[in-house]
Structure 1
Amino acid sequence: MSGFSANLGFLWTELSLPEAIRAAARAGFDAVECHCPYDTPVEEVKAALEETGLLMLGINTERGNLAAGDNGVAAIPGREEEARALIDQAIAYAQAIGARNIHVMAGFAQGNAARESFVENLHYACDRAAEHGITIVIEPLNHYDAPGYFLNNADQAAEIIEAVGAANLKLMFDCYHIQIMQGDITRRLEQFMPIIGHIQIAAVPTRAEPDNGELDYRHVMRSIRALGFTAPVGAEYRPATTTEAGLGWMTKIA
């Protein structure tokens, strides 16, 4: 499988999740992914996926208490019980709709205690997910969009993946975040490809459609394919206007 996956956390947000899945199919995407689908009944999502033939590549764990500013809780000491309940919720939903990956959100935390909490919660997530053939992914976020987020670079993620030591724990390599925090995208893709489970793209620094900005995604996509990554690449960008108006990038960088 190749091509692109529509991230429905940012694309077609004016539509319900099932209708957004149908819109992505009409637009020519090869797969879909989303952030937190839990307010939508599983049966409706499953029906839309079956109707369109699209695969749901991945979902996120719930972010936690949004009113309190949470962006995940898995690396926050003292909230292990909550983190594991959110992991269980994500695994059950992913299993029901056939999603391949779950992004376990770390949250805002720092220090050794946070690392220990994250590692232990990832052990739990990987053990439970392995029973269903699901991969757990972790994603570094840049410190402009998510200041104080525990996981902020690919080297840190690689160290945690090694520490957990689970075959189904991988890196979600978001080119937008990695370019802002570390740069040198082509070499970093080569360096981390053995542990990459999913790749996402967006323009840098605007996070708009990936056919503008400081990264040449034509080159990036050639590098990704040359390295043997054949899964759909996630389009996780914020449309400059409407989703449909900006879809010309799909033929420009493929």
Structure 2
Amino acid sequence: MKFSANLGFLWADRPLPAAIRAAKAAGFDAVECHWPYAVPAAEVAAALAGTGLPMLGLNTRRGDVAAGENGLSALPGRSDEARAAIDEAIAYAQAVGAGNIHVMAGFASGEASRDCFVANLDYACRNAASHGITILIEPLNRYDAPGYFLTTTDQALQIMDAVGAPNLKLMFDCYHVQLMEGDLSHRLETLLRRIGHIQFASVPDRGAPDHGEVNFAHVFALVRALGWPEPLGAEYRPGGDTDGTLGWLKAMRQG
């Protein structure tokens, strides 16, 4: 089993290139991030080349963070900004060799928001396809992100079907799915062919995957048995020094 360090949470106190080097030293097989845009892509690409780690993916910008925005692509009247963020993400992903872009929906509801999200995802998929980039959408739970447009895997599948693009996939975050829907094993089995990336964190505290209500040893074994070939994304809040939380990774390596 391979694992990716999400550098939005892990080693978040370090500059992104240093966090990439820390992930390599810790034994991760890949890295991923949230919003790397403040760091020149050339610096990130150099750190990736120096460690040999691939960058799996990144997110589109959230919008006006100070105003509480968390994505733009489902916000009616904001499509110009949403598409500029998509273009920016595609260019950055190309520069660092990232294969996935999570297009963030934002806080919205209703049919107009659905139509807006579908149209912007269609734009993203068409522009990403020629670069071999997969577009991801991720349901977020209502506790951490109340009012977010996309909340369940069923809703995500309906959106994906409406767009109808082969490079549009589901970001299956075990933490969010468990809080909203549960039944992780059956959902992974059923949805695997529609999934583009899998992430995890303990439930309910979003810490390291060595405690809480989900048995991640079982989940990891299931994903392996299903033939999932890609690294799983460790997107958890370490609550302190990241290196001190990596006992689970060491146990997996020893196993």
For 1:242 and 1:213, locate their aligned partners in 2 and report how far apart those are by CA, in whole Å.
20
Give 1:227 shift: 1.4
Instruction: Tell whether the 8 Å contact from 1:218 to 1:252 is kept in structure 2 after alignment.
Output: no
How many equivalent residue pairs?
253
CA deviation map 1:107-159 (0-9, x unaligned)? 00001000000000000000000010000000000000000000000010011
Q: Where do 1:115-194 residues align within 5 Å?
A: 115-194=114-193
Q: CA shift at 1:253, angstroms?
A: 4.9
Match status 1:40 vs 2:55: no
Counterpart of 1:85 in structure 2: which amino acid?
A
User: 2:135, 2:118 → 1: CA distance?
Assistant: 12
Aligned to 2:46, the other structure's residue is in SS state: helix
Equivalent-residue separation in structure 1 for 2:135 and 2:7 (angstroms): 19
Q: 2:231 — aligned with what?
A: 232
Single out whichever of 44-53 and 224-233 deviates more from structure 2.
Answer: 224-233
Q: Distance in 2 between matches of 1:180 and 1:253?
A: 25
What's the TM-score, normalizing by structure 2?
0.98
Matched AA of 2:18: E
Distance in 2, Cα, partners of 1:114 & 1:227: 35
Q: Which residue identity lines up with residue 141 of structure 1 in the other structure? A: L
Unaligned runs of 5+ in 2: none
Say whether the 8 Å CA contact 1:140–1:178 is kept in structure 2. Answer: yes
Say what the alpha-carbon RMSD is for the aligned residues: 0.8
**What is the CA-CA distance between 1:252 and the residue it aligns to?**
3.4
What's the TM-score, normalizing by structure 1? 0.98
237-246 or 180-189: bigger deviation: 237-246
Residue number in structure 2 paired with 1:205: 204
Q: Deviation of residue 67 (structure 1)?
A: 1.1
Contact 1:30/1:54 (<8 A) preserved: yes
